[in-house]
Structure 1
Amino acid sequence: MRAIETDLWQRLDSYEIGPAHCAFTFAQRLARENRWDPAYADRVLTEYKRFCWLACEAGHEVTPSDAVDQAWHLHLTYSRDYWDRFCADILRQALHHGPTAGGTTERTRYYDQYAQTLASYEAHFGEAAPDDIWPGAHRRFVVDPRAVRVNPADVFILPRRQAYGLAGAIAVAFAALLLMAAM
């Protein structure tokens, strides 16, 4: 039986996080707090639910992608909803979020666990996890941990390609000025 045919998935799929009377839905808050497009936040929310299904049914420990982890962290701030509704009524079991103890052994453990999570995802959902939400294990545990969260009110953020293009244009303009000054 595929994951989407299970009672657990039906409960997860119909579940709305948080109280209905909030000014922002959970997905809207997730988008705002992570500076994501609303459509991307909706997709991450679906992937979070798929992760929770795997956490209950995969038969092994699972590790989320960073985007899915952001959804999980935010959900945990809705503590009554998370523990009293989500775990009790939807998952019908506790789903704890524990931090890593750090170090090489832990990184290797989570790297391997994440790779196994991706394999289980494909086996149970019948398709590969979307790369833009679930990057490969190398990206997740080697490249992405170097990232830092910044406040865009304090800095300019340019994609690498644009920064190189701007630096190249400045270099060409400077070289042209030097040539003109030499004449």
Structure 2
Amino acid sequence: MVEIERIAWTPEQRALWDRVAAHPFERSDHALDFTARLARDHGWDLPFARDAIEEYRRFCFLAALSDTPVTPSEEIDAV
């Protein structure tokens, strides 16, 4: 997220983002963690899988704050 966007966040929004951003999708103690499985199962390279996970984080954040239903892209839905 761009820092300028965070300036207008409420403390609750900032706390929500911190929780979403902190979720560990990759674990060095697992040979085939979530990110690696996601990449393997969808034929993606690791950088693309990592980008998709970051988009998923943003989607979750926005979905939690939205007053209307939101629909994920195919990649976000795969995550």
Q: TM-score by structure 2 length?
A: 0.75
CA shift at 1:7, angstroms? 0.7
Moved over 2 A (4+): 17-23
CA shift at 1:20, angstroms? 7.0
Larger radius of gyration: 1
Cα deviation digits, residues 62-108 of structure 1 (max 9, x gap): 1000000000xxxxxxxxxxxxxxxxxxxxxxxxxxxxxxxxxxxxx
Indicate the residue corresponding to 1:39 in structure 2.
47
CA shift at 1:17, angstroms? 3.5
| Alignment: residue pair count | 70
How much is the aligned-residue C-alpha RMSD, in angstroms?
Answer: 2.3
Kept in 1, the 8 Å contact 2:26–2:35? The answer is no
Indicate the residue corresponding to 1:78 in structure 2.
none
Where in structure 2 are there 5+ consecutive unaligned residues? 1-7
Distance 1:43 1:18 in 2: 13
Percent identical among aligned pairs is: 34
Which of 57, 61, 69 is equivalent to 2:69?
Answer: 61
Q: TM-score by structure 1 length?
A: 0.35
CA shift at 1:24, angstroms? 1.1
Cα deviation digits, residues 100-135 of structure 1 (max 9, x gap): xxxxxxxxxxxxxxxxxxxxxxxxxxxxxxxxxxxx
3-state SS, counterpart of residue 6 of structure 1: helix
Amino acid across the alignment from 2:52:
V
Indicate the residue corresponding to 1:50 in structure 2.
58
CA shift at 1:58, angstroms? 1.6
